[in-house]
A and B are shown apart, each in its own frame.
Chain A
Amino acid sequence: MADGQDKKIDAATGTELKGHEWDGIAELDTPLPRWWLWTFYATIIFAIGYVIAYPAIPMLHDYTRGMLGWSSRGALDKELAAREAEIAPLRRAIADTAITDLPGKPQLMQAAVEGGRAAFKVHCVQCHGSGAAGAKGYPNLNDDDWLWGGDLATIEKTITDGVRNPNHDATRVSMMPAFGRDQLLTSAQVNDVVAHVRVISRQDKASAASQRGTQVFADNCAVCHGPDGKGTRALGAPNLTDGIWLYGGDAETIHETVWNSRQGVMPRWDDKLDKATIRMLATYVHSLGGGEATPVDETADNEATARP
């Protein structure tokens, strides 16, 4: 086939034939256009240059890194650093402004809320959900019920130090006893106090059990949850009379809560995030619809704070 003798010239075009033939159809051996060839050579030269300059050839445990030292990860880092530098003044301004003063600076406040929205998606959604709607045991941050308080400074403190964060003195701690498991109450007493809680949260009508439970509640629970069960924020004791339940308001769940207690943990963030990010997170959480006004007198007991 490649023999010179087999070569034939096509009469119509004057071009050599390849020598293949299919049912009388032959292939012309048309030379490549010059421009195409030169382009092809140019791509080869470019490829050699590229292999030298950029990461190219995979090795067993590594790869050739190229003389320019470029990597896509490095490029990303550079872009991120540039972005960080761009917003650094804003972060500084937020870090330098007391959180209670932020609402007075609407532009800074808005930047903080948006920054918080982004940071929330990274650090908080794992427990609180992408819409901050929470889950069983993880508070819904959209509503108006707060364990420790819903004003800006209180939210910031909660994020900073966490709740029941081990080995951290400043963390928020509320220790509800495991009344059943630790035999502080008898099984009957636990049932009675559950019935009482169901009544004060207006889920059940008063019954003999709830009547008995009233006294159990007064003796064991009121110290933290208050005589009427409305909770005490300073102690992180939840309001038991409202429509919001962290673990569930049905009798079975309340029974489990009283029997075993609940010891939900939120990590402290001051060792993981900078001050500005925590501040931004606090403003974002505050903006979700349940945020409360800063108490006028900061020394006043949180319990006395007007609630919406």
Chain B
Amino acid sequence: MLMPAGSSDLYEKRKGVYPKAVDGFYRRLKWAIMAVTLAIYWVTPWLRWDRGPYAPDQAVLVDLAHRRFYMFAIEIWPHEFYYVAGLLIMAGIGLFLVTSAVGRAWCGYACPQTVWTDLYQHVERFTDGDRNAQIRLAKAPWSAAKIARRLAKWSIWLGIAFATGGAWIFYFADAPRLSHDFWAGSAAPVAYATVAVLTATTLLLGGFMREQVCIYMCPWPRIQTAMLDEKSLVVTYKDWRGEQRGSVKKAQAKPDLFGDCIDCNQCVAVCPTGIDIREGAQVGCITCALCIDACDKVMAQVGRPRGLIDYCTQEDAEAEKQGAAPRPVLKTLLRPRTLAYAAVWLSIGAAMLFALGARTRIDIAAQQDRNPIFVRLSDGAIRNAYMVKVRNMEARPRPVTVAVEGLPGAMLWTDAMPREQAAATVTATVPADSVAKLRLFIAAPAPGPQRQDFAFTVRATDREGGGDREPARFERP
């Protein structure tokens, strides 16, 4: 795009893409998906979820500072990151599933690059007019009118970009407070930096780079193309029906020679990536299906059946070429490959849900002092010391009892109490949503094995209960 003309054959200058507005089933579907995805993006951080007095009330919050991830009723601690890993694996397999069933539907409908580019193109039509007006304006010399239009367009783009970059930070802090701080100038510098970077990338990617991101930068089209098979739905120009191309007049003159395509170029005019679908499946096609809408409209005008360009599997295309009837869509979608992906996807989801339901919200870890390993006390007993960490993952303080299992005669006390108060158990209250560190002393009678395995146990003594155990070792001289 920035190469001087004729400087090298290794680079290709960007050809401007000015997609024409179009209406139809798929265009409306895209409107709906855009509305839903943008609404999710902008609204989610503002949803509230009551978690009591000790936890934030934001429904979806990635609290990096305190290392917590909240999603409605689910709270994830850093050591439970495998849930996030599981979600990422599900997202991956979900994409396999979608791709094998309906091709590059992600690219065509839901990818942020597609959604924001689409939004930016609508803005462009609003300020500059439709395709032809845009081409004229691009070719026109700089004049006051052109500058005014450009400024208007860029301002709206910048506004959208700012709203996009601005919304991102609300996922990482309490949205209402951060919003107030942001405008008051007292938010963290990283918030401003993040907004600045994301505003810049949104403006650049959505306003100027557009289809080049899909064609040159994004690895996903390559991966998706590799995952498509002959049973995946792709946008197909039915060349056996369309060729030979010719105008309606020509076709009337020689009906045997010409096909349905009247070579009106509408499919090319509406394409947001500037390709000609009639050249066949290609990496530039994001399967947004706007050419289908455009072609259907033209076919209706000239009184020919719709679907000259349509979603079609390669297998069906071959069959149709031979004159067979297309198979029902359901049969295309439900086949072993998609069902296997769906089964894997669902079982990972079910396993994660089960694990979430069964996970303990209290947990204990113990580390033995290594220097000295043991201390002989004046009454002859042997003392070992441990750093015991009790983790309370509930959003309220919980009373717990720490005890030992498999260490006869053991007496426990902490560094906060004298040994006279040693007992078989130690009680503590773990603050909400945090880890309590207890420096625990254990004294046990000197006679016994040199190394004795035992276990720490922790039990919540409130109504809900629950507990955990941790193997440890007691050492004697």
Contacts and interface: CB of A to CB of B under 8 A. Distances in A.
Contact of B415 (A132, A140, A289): A289
B380 A131 contact: no
B416 to A, nearest CB: 10
Contacts of B369: 131
A244 B420 contact: no
A130 interface: yes
Contacts of B383: 142-143, 289
Contacts of A129: 372
A74 interface: no
Nearest to A133: B372
Interface in B372-386: 372, 375-381, 383, 385
A287 interface: yes
A288 to B, nearest CB: 9
Contacts of B419: 144, 308
Interface in B336-394: 369-372, 375-381, 383, 385
A305 B415 CA distance: 20
B418 A293 contact: yes
Contacts of A144: 377-378, 419
B378 A244 contact: yes
Contact of B418 (A132, A142, A145, A308): A308
Contacts of A287: 415
Contacts of B371: 130-131, 133
B380 A142 contact: no
A244 B377 contact: yes
B372 A243 contact: no
A142 B372 contact: yes
A210 interface: no
Nearest to B446: A243
Contact of B378 (A130, A131, A242, A289): A242
Interface in A227-246: 239, 242-244
Interface residues of A, number: 21
Interface in A104-156: 129-133, 140, 142-145
A201 B371 CA distance: 27
Nearest to B381: A243
B418 A289 contact: no
A143 B418 contact: no
A140 B370 CA distance: 15
A289 B379 contact: no
Contacts of B418: 292-293, 308
Q: Which of A144, A244, A290 has the most CB of B within 10 A?
A: A144
Q: Which of B376, B418, B419, B441 has the most CB of A within 10 A?
A: B376
B385 A289 contact: yes
Given A289-B383, A289-B385, A289-B441, A140 B378 contact: no
A44 to B, nearest CB: 37
B379 A133 contact: no
A287 B414 CA distance: 11
Interface string A141-181: 01111000000000000000000000000000000000000
Contacts of B377: 143-145, 243-244
B375 A243 contact: no
Interface string A31-66: 000000000000000000000000000000000000
A33 B377 CA distance: 77
Given A243-B380, A289-B383, A308-B420, A143 B415 contact: no
Contacts of A132: 372
Contacts of A289: 375, 383, 385, 415, 441
B378 A145 contact: yes
Nearest to A308: B419
Contacts of B420: 308
Interface of A: 129-133, 140, 142-145, 239, 242-244, 287, 289-290, 292-293, 307-308
22 contacts: A130-B371, A131-B369, A131-B371, A132-B372, A133-B371, A133-B372, A133-B375, A142-B375, A143-B376, A144-B377, A239-B378, A242-B378, A242-B380, A244-B376, A244-B378, A289-B375, A289-B383, A289-B415, A290-B375, A292-B418, A293-B418, A308-B419
Given A289-B441, A308-B419, 12 more contacts: A131-B370, A142-B372, A143-B376, A144-B378, A242-B378, A242-B380, A243-B379, A243-B380, A243-B446, A244-B377, A289-B383, A290-B375
